[in-house]
Amino acid sequence: MRGTGLIHCACCGLEQGAALDVQDGGVAAVWCTRCAAHRGESVEQLAARQAEHVAMLERALLDAQDDAVLARGERDHFRDRMQLAYSSRELLVRVLAQIDEAHHMRGTRCACGRRGCRVVGLLADPRIVRMIRSYGEQQRVLRELRNANPDAWTDRWDYIDVSVVYPEPPRRARGGRHRRTG
């Protein structure tokens, strides 16, 4: 039984299409279709094989370079979309935090003066409360970091030394009932 498929050619070393002889689940082809045509050990056949391999490898290199350029373009596109999503989310949470400052309960009334303020009810959703609190915590940490490192400040989290604001507490020596083995 014969079929076609991709193999790793033993001659050119590339992933190529080949005619496969499938017998009892085994694959008998080890040379691709293009390399099967230039079998032989004469000087002319060796030269033709080398010339064809150079052309095939150049084509494979150009295809790989094109794929790399396309992948970089897609990476940049999706990174830009991600940054846009983060900035729009931050804007939304900032507005929600400002609304939360204007509408929170003071006793039996909202800070705006109404008794049954609908905004307080909408802001009571635990997910929104969590978003507002995490945004407030993030802004507080950024302020502390900016104040702690005014000369070496950057607005990117990647380069911030958080240990300046949150130093690691000193560890106490553990003295227990058991002796140390050592």
Query: pLDDT digits over 42-93, tens only?
Result: 888 788 888 888 988 899 899 999 999 999 999 999 999 998 888 888 888 8
Please give the model's pTM, rounded to 2 decimal places: 0.47
More confidently predicted of 95 and 171:
95
Query: pLDDT digits over 100-126, tens only?
Result: 888 888 888 888 888 888 888 888 888
Q: Which residues contact 144 (CB under 8 A, 6 or more apart)?
A: 165
Element (H, E) at 21: strand 15-23
Helix, strand, coil shares of the chain, percent, nearest 5, are 55, 10, 35
Confidence at residue 109, expressed as pLDDT on a 0 to 100 scale: 85
Angle 66-72-78 (CA atoms, 0-180°, nearest 5)? 135
Confidence at residue 154, expressed as pLDDT on a 0 to 100 scale: 57
